[in-house]
Homo-oligomer: A and B are copies of this chain.
Amino acid sequence: MTMQPSLTLYELAGMDPALRFSPHCWKVRMALAHKGLAAEGLPWRFTDKEAIAFSGQGLVPVLVDGGTAVADSWRIALHLETRFADRPSLFGAPEAVPLARFVNGWSDVVLIPAIARLILTDIARLLGPADEAYFRQTRERRFGAALETVVADRPAHLKALSQTLAPLRALLQGQDFIAGGAPAYADYCVFGMFMWARCASPSDILEGGGDDPVVAWRERLLDAFDGLARRAPALAA
């Protein structure tokens, strides 16, 4: 295997620098663990645009791998897969990459807004004043309402999320992981969304309990890599 390289990951953090709650950064954290790689995680805040200007854009995750900076979680996954080709594959086979990209897109396009409607105000509470102002302004523009208004009808949003998860629930009735018998990047794409909620919010976004295959799958991923995700600082009970 390739030697352990020098990797740095800029990760979104709350006012508490230990609280790393970005769904996209969690995709990368899990991908690094899958590859058996350790990265130094640097806390970054929404308004720290200068700190990552070297990457040519203003969002995390940003992975610095020696002299190379890679932004965007999907591009980071492809970078890790190519650069560390002799370590366990994130996709299993090249033919699975386009389909994993569909799962990633589904997760970003469909799950993020559904989960956001449950945790936006919890996130705002984690942030320092400058970041909270930035977060409120950008998200209130995106959702067209004050954060408190967006999250107001929690029972309806819990039900909507459960319906949104129907294709995932159907899949997990027949297999342990999205990628099949063992987890891979397609799983981390979706699991990142649940880590976002777990880290940022004291309230569970799944109400189904142990009978819900999605809950059981989430438990399996919380346990993966010696409980990497379960041990991470989080607001969840």
Contact = CB atoms under 8 A, between A and B. Distances in A.
Interface of A: 91-103, 105-106, 108-110, 166-168, 170-171, 174-175, 177-180, 184, 186
28 contacts: A92-B95, A92-B96, A93-B93, A93-B94, A93-B95, A93-B96, A95-B95, A95-B180, A95-B184, A96-B96, A96-B99, A97-B180, A98-B178, A98-B179, A99-B99, A99-B102, A99-B103, A101-B174, A101-B175, A102-B102, A102-B103, A102-B168, A102-B178, A102-B186, A105-B170, A109-B170, A110-B166, A110-B167
Taken together, the copies of this chain in the complex come to 2
Pick the 5 closest A-B CB pairs, nearest first: A92-B95, A99-B99, A93-B93, A98-B180, A93-B95
Contact of A171 (B101, B167, B168, B180): B101
A167 B96 contact: no
Nearest to A74: B174
Given A92-B93, A94-B93, A99 B167 contact: no
Contact of A175 (B92, B93, B98, B168): B98
